[in-house]
Amino acid sequence: MNRIGPLHEIEPPHFRKVMGRFATGVTVITATTGGESHGMTANAFMSGSLDPPLCVVSVARRAHMHAYLLEAKRFAVNILAEGQADHATHFAGKLVPGLEPRFVDIDGIPTLGDASARITAELAASHDCGDHTLFIGHITSMDADERRPLLYFDGHYRAMQETCGAETPLPEFW
């Protein structure tokens, strides 16, 4: 293991490489401003609280979505399924020829109609976090299907594979 010095000595490529060792799901954050729907791929998403139901997404201050979230005050988190890497690529700013995302309005918030799960939220708070902002949303609706999630690991989109044989039930924490 490489020892690191003070935080200011960590080089961005090394930071990304180490953080890339943590597998995440892939989401597209959507919002509407000025009558136009916007989307951005994000993997820095998590549940925040069960009571009240909150979710958290981290967005770079330099990203267009940052200003959209501050203006809209409402957003959706669209969790992508296996086979939707084209959507992730598209909303990461690399337009995919022939891909026409289908937005479905839920209470005035655009969602991706073919996402595996959709969560709508009203902005409850935002907090500076270095060069990003943590947007905390109070969840207003959610739904999901049974498809497996699209994963992001080591700089690449991946599919989930069974490696432990039979599914092991998780302990009940709540």
Residue 142: what pLDDT?
98
CB atoms within 10 A of CB 121: 26
- Return the CATH superfamily for domain 12-17+24-155: Electron Transport, Fmn-binding Protein; Chain A (2.30.110.10)
Residue 164 CA, chain-centre distance (Å), reads: 27
Domain regions of the chain by residue span:
12-17+24-155
- Lowest pLDDT segment from 5-9, 52-56, 124-128: 5-9
Element housing 129 (H / E): strand 117-129
Query: Which residue did the predictor score with more confidence, 170 or 99?
Result: 99
CA angle 117, 15, 75 (to 5 degrees): 30
Write the Ramachandran bin of 107: left for phi over 0, alpha for psi from -120 to 50, otherwise beta. left
Predicted confidence band at 6 (pLDDT cuts at 50, 70, 90)? low
Q: Answer whether residue 21 shows pLDDT above 90.
A: no
Residue 15: what pLDDT?
87
Tokens of residue 156, six digits? 């690449």
Residue 5: what pLDDT?
57
Note if the bond before 12 is cis, omega within 30 degrees. Answer: no
Residue 144: what pLDDT?
98
Render pLDDT for 113-170 as a digit per residue (tens, 0 to 9): 999 999 999 999 999 999 999 999 999 999 999 999 999 999 999 998 876 656 667 6
Residue 20: what pLDDT?
80
